[in-house]
Amino acid sequence: MNFKQLESFVHVAELGSFSKAALVLDIAQPALSRQVRALETDLRETLLLRNGRGVVLTDAGQRLYEHGRNLLQALAQAEADMGGARDEPLGRITIGLPPSVGRQLTLPLIDGFQRRCPRARLAIVEGLSSHIGEWISTGRVDVGLLYNPEAQPALEITPVIEEALCLVSPGSLSGAGAGGGSAALPLAQLPAYALIVPERGHAIRKLLETRALLAGLKLDIAWEVSSIAAIIDLVCAGYGHAVLHASAVAASGRGDALRVRPLVQPNLNSMLCLAVSARQRPSPLVRQTTALLTELVRALPQGTAAASQPG
């Protein structure tokens, strides 16, 4: 077992995909697969199970992942300490992204990171905002984007952008059920629509149900699906409607097949924030990465979003 094999394995485990890990590590996917296979051969253990959606860890793989992550973090901290005196971004940094923005940000983030921090290494993981906040608190993730985070002593939180939530409907619908064009929809009318929503831990679901409860509304939850991409597929197929950010629809590439209407009276706005650990002094690498993330998020096509100044 060598460092390169271990680093490759940890990236694949964190991203759940050989193709995503190859993009982050900037190596060919076959070469990455050979490194992980060599590691499995050396240890005489199966570490990853391949399926149609990517890879999952075996029990042995989970144990090695915990060891490998700790080793890589310790090495990254040592490199960051050495580069800190020169204000040079060195070491390894892990960024947590919610799925709704992960697809939009991954490629420009890697491109910008390579240019700004050529001697540093990057890992990207996706998860719900609540999970990313916990990962930052425990040290698994260094920097994260979170929707509507609650104040926590362990996190330093900076608002980046504010986005309006919209009702997303199949574009083929007509008449009273679909409404006209992109006209705003009062929240009081939302119970008339069968909704496809994420699970209860998702920031959008929490905001939506809180506002509906305060307004005395009972929502028609038809389906619960964790993947934003799958929700958009189901809406396109006519299984119901969704409440999402306009930027998520734009990122899906299926905007032409959908009708997007802002929810109003009251407006449903979701705040996307940048979070880092409040317990650690930011290293040059963390400072460079947070600056890059902020620039990229504000440059994204936000649809009905409005930029918010850091507070």
Q: Is 13 domain-assigned? A: yes
Q: Is 240 domain-assigned? A: yes
Q: Is 116 domain-assigned? A: no
CATH of the domain at 80: 1.10.10.10
At 58 the three-state DSSP class reads coil
Q: Is 28 domain-assigned? A: yes
Do 169 and 77 fall into the same domain?
no
Q: Is 3 domain-assigned? A: yes
Cα–Cα distance measured from residue 221 to residue 106, given in angstroms and rounded to the nearest whole number: 31
Cα–Cα distance measured from residue 118 to residue 107, given in angstroms and rounded to the nearest whole number: 16
Do 82 and 168 fall into the same domain?
no
Instruction: List CB contacts of 271: < 8 A, sequence separation 6 or more.
Output: 147, 148, 159, 161, 162, 163, 308
Q: Which helix (H) or strand (E) holds 274?
A: strand 269-277
User: Token pair for residue 281?
Assistant: 């002094």
Q: Is 138 domain-assigned? A: no
Do 257 and 171 fall into the same domain?
yes
Q: Is 145 domain-assigned? A: no
H helices of 129-199, in order, are 129-138
Residue 53's pLDDT is 75
Q: Which helix (H) or strand (E) holds 120?
A: strand 120-126
User: Token pair for residue 242?
Assistant: 């969704």
Range of the domain at 177: 164-269
Residue 304's pLDDT is 36
Collect the ranges in the chain with pLDDT lower than 50: 174-180, 303-311
The residue from 54, 86, 118 where one domain ends is 86
Answer for the pair 142, 135: CB distance below 8 angstroms, yes or no. Answer: no
CATH of the domain at 249: 3.40.190.290
H helices of 57-140, in order, are 59-84, 99-116, 129-138
> What is the domain count for the chain?
2
Q: On the CB side of 169, how many CA atoms lie within 13 Å of its CA?
A: 25
167 bridge partner residues: 243, 261
Could you tell me which of 252, 263, 86 has the C-alpha nearest to residue 184? 263
